């Protein structure tokens, strides 16, 4: 112990002198000591306070950013829901417009062929066979529909019924290779047989065969069903002549005919009852 104090005597002496100086300062002017203590305390606390303020500011900024992000997410969801609602409403209105257009077409057809006994029907399907352009409608034998009845669409001949179940009916369109009808060109009186032809089906055209070599039929002529037809009433519009050609034998001619019925967009049809 004695050795310890002997070794540390100088340090103790300096510490004692320092304590005496501090005591003298406090005795002469207590405010000086207070100022020294306050300055020391300020030196220690100020950096900590700055750090705390910075942390509070950082946290406040991030909280504000999170709040804004949440608000934006909510607004985006509300806008997306409104857009979906408007899109659905536009789709519904478009369907209603199409429905009204189809009904107007059907009404016009009823008026155009008021002298015929007809029944309206909706197209509900199509034959998947590319070589047979046939369709299905939502009327059947329980509604009085039979086979070999004319089908009208878009103001003109669209086909003929070929099968009828109690609730639905299949009809071959005018482009179907099984379809054939006796026709006449009113302007010239030339007659022939219009039929679907596999070579012209994809072009949306029919072919009129057995036209006499001296016939005056020409492109632009309207073609109607003729009184020679057994199945179809006379006077139904079939289509318009696109071109006229002479057969290789030179004895007869044939014409290509564009039907007035838009076979690719059939919706509402009329079935002509016998």
Q: What is the pLDDT of residues 61-72, one digit of tens each?
A: 665 666 777 888
Q: What is the pLDDT of residues 179-222, one digit of tens each?
A: 999 999 999 999 999 999 988 988 999 999 999 988 999 999 99
At 158 the pLDDT is 96
Read out DSSP for 142-174?
GGT--SS-EEEETTEEEEEEEEE-SS-EEEEET
Residue 32 gets the label, from left (phi > 0), alpha (psi -120 to 50) or beta, of alpha
Domain ranges for the chain: 1-112, 118-274
Question: Do the beta carbons of residue 118 and residue 149 sit within 8 Å?
Answer: no
Domain 118-274 fold is Thrombin, subunit H (2.40.10)
What stretches in the chain show pLDDT beneath 50? 2, 5, 33, 41
Q: Which residue has the tokens 């509402």?
A: 268
At 41 the pLDDT is 46
Helices and strands in the chain: count of H runs, count of E runs = 3, 12
At 67 the pLDDT is 73
State the DSSP H helix or E strand holding residue 86, giving kind and residue range, or none if neither.
Answer: helix 30-112
Q: Cα-flanking dihedrals φ and ψ of residue 215, to 5°?
A: -65, 145
* Entry pTM: 0.62
At 151 the pLDDT is 96
At 90 the pLDDT is 77
At 2 the pLDDT is 47
What's the token pair of residue 212?
A: 């006499």
């Amino acid at each position: 112990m004695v050795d310890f104090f002997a070794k540390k005597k100088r340090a103790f002496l300096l510490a004692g002198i320092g304590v005496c100086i501090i005591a003298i300062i406090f005795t002469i002017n207590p405010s000086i000591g207070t100022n020294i203590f306050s300055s020391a305390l300020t030196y220690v606390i100020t950096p900590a306070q700055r750090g705390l303020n910075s942390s509070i500011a950082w946290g406040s900024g991030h909280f504000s950013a999170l709040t804004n992000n949440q608000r934006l997410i909510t607004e985006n969801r509300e806008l997306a829901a409104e857009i979906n609602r408007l899109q659905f409403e536009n789709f519904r209105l478009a369907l209603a417009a199409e429905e009204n257009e189809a009904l107007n077409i059907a009404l016009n057809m009823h008026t155009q062929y008021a002298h015929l006994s007809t029944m309206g029907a909706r197209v509900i399907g199509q034959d998947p066979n590319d070589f047979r352009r046939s369709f299905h409608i939502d009327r059947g034998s329980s509604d009085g529909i039979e086979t070999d009845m004319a089908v009208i669409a878009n103001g003109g001949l669209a086909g003929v019924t070929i099968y009828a179940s109690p609730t639905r009916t299949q009809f071959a369109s005018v482009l179907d290779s099984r379809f054939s009808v006796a026709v006449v060109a009113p302007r010239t009186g030339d007659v022939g047989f219009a039929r679907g032809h596999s070579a012209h089906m994809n072009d949306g055209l029919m072919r009129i065969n057995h036209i006499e070599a001296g016939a005056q039929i020409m492109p632009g002529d309207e073609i109607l069903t003729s009184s020679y037809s057994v199945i179809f009433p006379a006077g139904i519009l079939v289509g318009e002549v696109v071109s006229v050609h002479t057969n290789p034998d030179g004895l007869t001619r044939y014409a290509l005919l564009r039907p007035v019925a838009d076979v690719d967009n059939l919706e509402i049809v009329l079935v002509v009852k016998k």
